[in-house]
Amino acid sequence: MGPPTAGAYFHYQNHRLEESVDRVRKIDTPPLNSIPDDIRTTEQIDHAIGALTSHVRTVVKRCEREVPASSDRRKFPPDILELIRQKQSFAPREHLSS
């Protein structure tokens, strides 16, 4: 099996995005429900920004996972190893195009 193509990388990233979107939909969103549909004042803007920021922090906290800080790559999860391989396969091309 050769190196992954850019299309395979995009498909993988798209799948990860779909997983994240599904996670966001499953999370109860009372802070977002408090944002009015018709925002007219700066206070309402500040409230909407605060509610959205709070919601994003909650989603990120629930979706994050711990990855070992080890330099021994054999200990990384398989999906992280695949991302490292993909990054390294694109690095020489980026260097040449600079």
Q: Which residue has the tokens 């200990």?
A: 75
Distance CA 4, CA 11 (A): 11
- The pLDDT of 22-44, averaged and rounded, is 78
pLDDT category at 42 given cuts 50, 70, 90 is very high
Burial of 69 (0-12, 13-18, 19+ CB in 10 A): exposed
**For the chain, percent of residues with pLDDT exceeding 90:** 8
Domain map (residue ranges) of the chain: 6-97
Q: Per residue in 46-92, pLDDT tens?
A: 998 998 898 888 888 888 777 666 666 567 788 888 888 888 887 66
